[in-house]
Amino acid sequence: MGQEHRRATRFNVSMAVTLILRDTKNRLALADPVMGSLVDISLYGARLSVPHIRTGNYHLFYTCREEGDRLVIPAHPVWFDHVLSGPAKHFELGLEFLIPPEDSNIARLHAFLAIHPSLEGGWLKRLFRLG
């Protein structure tokens, strides 16, 4: 396997997330939400763990590849893996943010995490350079 070349450092995190597959034109939900957890994050993307990658008639990876008061950061999947080791088999999904690190939505993520001390570990201070 080739060596990975990351644009930014990834920091471990454990945070519940809900993935909602939406029609980008009408903003309507296309299928039931998928619950998962955020595994790591960088300025450019994140890694998620989800129990399945199909919801209704849609596949989270392939359906979202073409399109890409809660915090919403647009992202599209760039890789997935089926993890068969360990007690709970699950999928991991790598996301790339579709907005640059200086976007206001990233600033909102920074502000949200800054006011939640239980989420603000050393990784967060290094990622967003919190005071």
CA distance 108 to 85: 35
Domains and CATH numbers, the chain: 11-100 (2.40.10)
Quote the pTM value: 0.52
Can you give the pLDDT at residue 106? 77
Can you give the pLDDT at residue 101? 84
CA distance 4 to 114: 30
Question: Taking residues 76-86, what's their average pLDDT?
Answer: 86
Question: Taking residues 101-119, what's their average pLDDT?
Answer: 70
Lowest mean pLDDT among 44-53, 70-79, 112-121: 112-121
pLDDT tens profile 12-31: 888 888 888 777 667 778 88
Can you give the pLDDT at residue 69? 42
Query: Would you state the structure tokens that stand for residue 31, as one six-digit string?
Result: 């299928």
CA distance 12 to 29: 29
Can you give the pLDDT at residue 3? 63
What single-letter amino acid sits at 67?
E
Can you give the pLDDT at residue 75? 82
Confidence label for 118 from pLDDT (cuts 50, 70 and 90): low
CB-based contacts of 119, cutoff 8 Å, min separation 6: 13, 15, 113
